[in-house]
């Protein structure tokens, strides 16, 4: 008996199948990243031989440091309802590959064919940095978000999701771009120039690119979470415009010395605070969705009021995972994680229904999520030595996670609770469970 494909259910795809488009996007992005890094390596070797190769490796190592700090911070925003790792990887690699490579080609061509010949070397170089680069780079990064809107719309449940995907694209872009800047600083200004560049790009302003592209992410998130209206077309464009403006302000501030840099830095700090506020509000709304949409599922036996209270706080969820590990080991903790994530996805699915942006045949996904919750508790009960009162309820019987029940009863009760939800096909023998049932 094969186990349930947990990742497939949580990601909303058919178990046993992987997105060909996503795989192609990852492969193409990796190829572009290798080409770009290979070009920088060859540039270092051509400029200084083995010393240039060493400079490239130092620059590469230095560029990894901000990434190692930023990625965990980005994922920290994503704890309640984590995005699929494969899609996050695609976003990062797109930024580090396709976006960087295409921006390098277009920016170089723009300088050599237009700005420098028309405006001269000094003014042309400044206009390329302050105007051309923001337009090209934010378009290249934003294209990944538009692809996600097209192909992975249902993964974007909140504005925070848009921020997360945008930040991953931008962090990948900044990673390869930093290699270029660090290598150039080593060649032109030596160790002192390299140290100054690292402090500026890796310590003082590592959030630059993520903050710019987050504006596009907010616009795309609006389009993904709202049905109809001009806003679905207008908001991504408005977000991209905001990204270009912030990027242009930062690049253009170099003409005004440290004063201009300080003013724009303060503006970006305000943007950062605003994004944190958005993320906090989104988390509160997700918790509210759990409290609003899960009570109708109490008759299924999968959740109880005590479970809903546990699922509605980060602290309660953490204590429940710790209890599950103590009671049934690492597999018990994993079962609790699956149960919590599936319950959250169930609540968000119903919120999308209320907004009119649910997936087609939403009830099939609903039944698959219920199946995952059921199998998670069965996996836990199979590992637990004996029934133990959970950390969030007085008795084992007070939690749906500790109740054995027939899954057909779960589905029948779930269908009975649909009430005023959009019409779905009548329950037949072929629809008594989710469409994919490899696990029972």
Q: For residue 6, what pLDDT is reported?
A: 65
State how far the Cα of 43 lies from the Cα of 134, in Å rounded to an integer.
25
- N-term to C-term CA, the chain: 7
- DSSP assignment letter at 84: P
pLDDT at position 428, please? 33
The percentage of residues in the chain with a pLDDT greater than 90, rounded to a whole number, is 61
Every domain of the chain and the residues it spans: 18-285, 294-422
Instruction: Report pLDDT for 432.
Output: 34
Q: Which residues of the chain have pLDDT under 70?
A: 1-17, 384-387, 416-440
CB 158, CB 221: distance < 8 Å: yes
CA separation, residue 434 to residues 52, 152, 171, 242, 353 (Å) = 58, 21, 38, 43, 18
> What is the value of pTM for the model shown?
0.87
CA-CA distances (angstroms) from residue 381 to 338, 378, 405, 412? 14, 5, 12, 23
To which residue do tokens 């987050």 refer?
214
Q: Which residue has the tokens 């759990």?
A: 290
pLDDT of residue 437: 28
- pLDDT for the residue 257: 87
pLDDT at 168: 97
Instruction: Give the orientation angle of helix 100-110 with respect to helix 159-198, to 10 degrees.
Output: 60
For the stretch 237-286, pLDDT in tens is: 999 999 999 999 999 998 888 899 899 999 999 999 999 999 999 988 88
| 218 contacts 239 by C-beta, under 8 angstroms | yes
- 47, 187 Cβ separation under 8 angstroms: yes
């Amino acid at each position: 008996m094969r186990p349930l494909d947990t990742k497939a259910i949580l990601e909303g795809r058919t178990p046993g199948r992987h997105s060909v488009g996503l795989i192609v996007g990852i492969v193409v992005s990796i190829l572009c990243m290798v080409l770009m890094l290979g070009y920088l390596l060859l540039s270092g070797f051509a400029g200084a031989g083995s010393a240039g190769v060493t400079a490239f490796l130092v620059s590469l190592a230095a560029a990894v440091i901000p990434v190692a700090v930023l990625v965990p911070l980005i994922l920290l925003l994503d704890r309640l309802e984590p995005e699929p790792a494969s899609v996050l990887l695609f976003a990062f690699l797109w930024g580090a590959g396709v976006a960087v490579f295409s921006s390098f080609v277009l920016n170089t061509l723009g300088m050599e064919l237009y700005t420098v010949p028309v405006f001269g070397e000094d003014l042309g170089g400044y206009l390329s940095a302050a105007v051309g680069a923001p337009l090209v780079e934010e378009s290249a990064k934003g294209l990944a978000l538009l692809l996600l809107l097209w192909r992975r719309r249902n993964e974007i449940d909140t504005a925070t999701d848009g921020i997360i995907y945008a930040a991953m694209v931008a962090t990948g872009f900044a990673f390869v771009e930093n290699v270029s800047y660090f290598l150039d600083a080593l060649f032109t200004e030596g160790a002192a120039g390299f140290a100054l560049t690292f402090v500026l790009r890796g310590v003082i302003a590592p959030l630059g690119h993520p903050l710019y592209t987050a504006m596009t992410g907010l616009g795309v998130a609006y389009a993904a979470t709202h049905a109809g209206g001009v806003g679905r077309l207008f908001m991504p464009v408005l977000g991209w415009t905001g990204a270009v403006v912030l990027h242009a302000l930062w690049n253009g501030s170099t003409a005004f010395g440290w004063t201009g840099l300080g003013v724009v830095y303060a503006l970006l700090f305000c943007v950062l605070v605003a994004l944190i506020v958005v993320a906090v509000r989104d988390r509160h709304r997700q918790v509210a969705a759990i409290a609003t949409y899960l009570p109708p599922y109490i008759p299924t036996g999968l959740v109880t009021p005590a479970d809903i209270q546990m699922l509605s706080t980060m602290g309660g969820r953490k204590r429940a995972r710790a209890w599950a590990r103590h009671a049934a080991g690492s597999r018990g903790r994993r079962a609790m994680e699956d149960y919590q994530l599936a319950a959250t996805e169930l609540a968000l699915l119903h919120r999308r229904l209320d907004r009119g942006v649910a997936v087609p045949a939403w009830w099939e996904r609903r039944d698959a999520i219920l199946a995952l919750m059921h199998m998670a508790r069965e996996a836990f009960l199979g590992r637990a030595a004996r029934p133990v009162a959970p950390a969030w309820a007085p008795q084992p019987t007070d939690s749906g996670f500790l109740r054995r029940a027939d899954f057909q009863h779960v589905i029948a009760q779930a269908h009975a609770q649909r009430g005023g939800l959009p019409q779905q096909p009548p329950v037949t023998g072929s629809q008594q469970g989710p469409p994919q049932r490899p696990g029972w």
